[in-house]
Amino acid sequence: MAATNTEPVLPLAGRVAIVTGASRGIGRAIALHLASLGASVVLCYASNSAQADLLASEINSSYSSSPRAVAVRADVSDPADVKSLFDRAESAFAGAAAPHILVACAGVLDPKYPSIANTAVEDWDAAFSVNARGAFLCCREAAQRLARGGGGRIVTVSSSLVGVLQPGYGAYTASKAAVEAMTRVLAKELRGTGVTANCVAPGPTATDLFFAGKSEEDLRRMAQANPMGRLGKPEDVAALVGFLCTDAGGWVNGQVVRVNGGFV
């Protein structure tokens, strides 16, 4: 039998993924990984258009002669912006009328690490506005649109700090705990739609958001405290998200997966 040169079909070929917080850190790594699996990616960013546009250009030049990535600015705490984000995802790529994947990765962390007693109300509200409200608005939109499209994947991003309850992270931890609970409820509510909902909870990961306000000694100590002897890499988290978004991850639903090298 003559050999064929047919290229294997990538596991996410023909699917559209929305990744919030995609311009840097874990979100950026997730967007790149989903693109490598064949997905077309809507890169949602809040303010850093230069980084988002650069990432879109990188994906488009690497994987296809036709557009495979588009950068879209949206405030995930604004319902109108979130609706516009999903509208854009439905029209961004030829032949793909509806988004198939949401990765709600946008998040904020107060670099001052105040105790709860010293947390300003506006800082508490800011954490919940992006981390919890933003995830809720994106999940609400995705739950409606993915179900109408016949199925898909929702992945939210929490933090392994929910399992540690570290002083100085009160607002951040509380907002991420809300995301975990919401995701578990959502998975049950999506019964029969073909949509799964899971949450990934990274441990200490080498990103600008994590580095802010920490000394080199702080980072060294955290790396040594991990059983793997290092901080996590954004790519470690992206690999798990990629699996959950493929058909191979279709039997995982309603779970919070702590990806932290054994930190928790």
Residue positions annotated with a catalytic role: 172
Q: Where are the beta strands (DSSP E) in 74-167?
A: 101-104, 152-157
Which residue in this structure is represented by tokens 């919890």?
A: 132
Residue 159 CB neighbours (<10 A): 30
CA dist., res. 135 & res. 155, Å (int): 10
Asked if 53 and 35 count as a contact pair (C-beta separation under 8 A), the reply is: no
Cβ–Cβ under 8 Å, residues 25 and 209: yes
Q: Are 110 and 172 in contact (CB under 8 A)?
A: yes
Alpha carbon separation from 168 to 69, 109, 207 (Å, rounded) = 37, 11, 19
Residue-wise burial string across 53-68, b where 16 or more C-beta atoms lie within 10 A, e elsewhere:
bebbeebbeebeeeeb
Helix count and strand count (H, E) for the chain? 9, 7
CA dist., res. 220 & res. 99, Å (int): 40
- From the number of C-beta atoms within 10 Å of its C-beta (0-12, 13-18, 19+), residue 96 rates as middle
Q: Is 136 left (phi over 0), alpha (psi -120 to 50) or beta?
A: alpha
